[in-house]
Amino acid sequence: MASDTGYKLTVSAVRPLTDDAVAVTFAASFDFKPGQFLTLAIPSDRTGVVARCYSLCSVPGEPLTVAVKRTADGYASHWINDHLRVGDTLRALEPSGIFTPASLDADLLLFAGGSGVTPIMSIARTVLEQGSGRLVVFYANRDERSVIFARQWAELAVEHPDRLQVVHWLESVQGLPTQEQLRVFAAGYHEWDAFVCGPAPFMKAVNGALRDLDFPRERRHQEKFVSLGGNPFGEFAEMGAESAEVDVESVQVEDEGPVRQGAVSVTAELDGTTYSFDDWDAGTTLLEHLESKGVKAPYSCREGECSACAFRLLEGEVKMLKNDVLDAEDLADGIRLGCQSLPVTDEVKVSYS
């Protein structure tokens, strides 16, 4: 059921994954892309609600399922593991995010650390069931008991021996993977698309290894969650994000120049459709303008603190009011946030694909 503050979802299953993680399934299906996340409103006696982003581990067409691992100081992750039961209801926004492959027929090199495996599982299962791509998965954990989806990975590898290879890396046995070790591992897959999700040090090491191998930027993808300060659910204030265990440093927004005065022409490519408008007001963000035209542009926090509304700038220039999630490399690659972008030039062309 939809409302002004999201959808009301009923919990249909809660099952343990490890000693400190559960999978939560909702009696609902949405159109979504593998690798996207769900923003949930978690009840709080202190603030009324806190909002958290959790990556989906299900395949499009299945009921929505997220995996939630306890974090050291994570109120919401503890509440879900300790209190959430079948029949409970939670509010949620539509699935969002750009951590998703462009083609299910592409060969993918997938890196996961800890609970960062959640969107990786969604991507892997979807490719195996609906595409023809080959997959190599590097999955790092503290020890054997920490491996999320251990049984599922083993079953998938048996079912698809010609398309899926899963390599488990255990810190208790091998220590933390180094950038050099990751470089050697990835060296044989230079032509593949790479995806990485996990703790910040792990992602930094993986991306360093991929850069050492000259993986082009357009074939390196990483999921990022940062603490959110805004509130997409309306009447409550406290927010945050936990699912990928990622700590991303804030990137200052450079001054791209003065914001345009008056109306601007904008062309936006979204889900295979091209939208063109000549009346984008200079004081309105791109997200707000597209919504005013009835275009369902993606978003989650509206505060420049997640990547759900990210697009690629194809022509022209925009000025972002705030950015707490895109790094310098993202900006150099033309990626911007729709909820924070105001026009600088007379014409702007963007793509959400």
Q: Per the domain annotation, does 249 fall within a domain?
A: no
Quote the pLDDT of residue 235: 52
Q: Are residues 112 and 177 in the same domain?
A: yes
CB-CB contact of 25 with 65 (8 Å) = yes
Q: Are residues 126 and 218 in the same domain?
A: yes
Q: Per the domain annotation, does 250 fall within a domain?
A: no
Number of structural domains in the chain: 3
CA atoms within 13 A on the CB side of 63: 13
Q: Are residues 112 and 216 in the same domain?
A: yes
CATH number for the domain harbouring residue 67:
2.40.30.10
CATH number for the domain harbouring residue 142:
3.40.50.80
Inform me whether the pLDDT recorded for 69 exceeds 50: yes
The residue among 92, 124, 150 that closes a domain is: 92
The secondary structure element, H or E, covering residue 71 is none
Q: Per the domain annotation, does 84 fall within a domain?
A: yes
Q: Of the candidates 69, 297, 111, which has an alpha carbon nearest to the alpha carbon of residue 222?
A: 111
Inform me whether the pLDDT recorded for 227 exceeds 80: no
How confident is residue 230, by pLDDT bands cut at 50, 70 and 90?
low
Instruction: State the average pLDDT for the chain.
Output: 88
> Against a cut of 0.85, is the pTM above it?
no
Q: Are residues 68 and 116 in the same domain?
A: no
Quote the pLDDT of residue 243: 43
Domain residue limits at 48: 2-92
Quote the pLDDT of residue 148: 97
Q: Per the domain annotation, does 206 fall within a domain?
A: yes
Q: Of the candidates 96, 86, 97, 90, which has an alpha carbon nearest to the alpha carbon of residue 40?
A: 90
CB-CB contact of 139 with 117 (8 Å) = yes
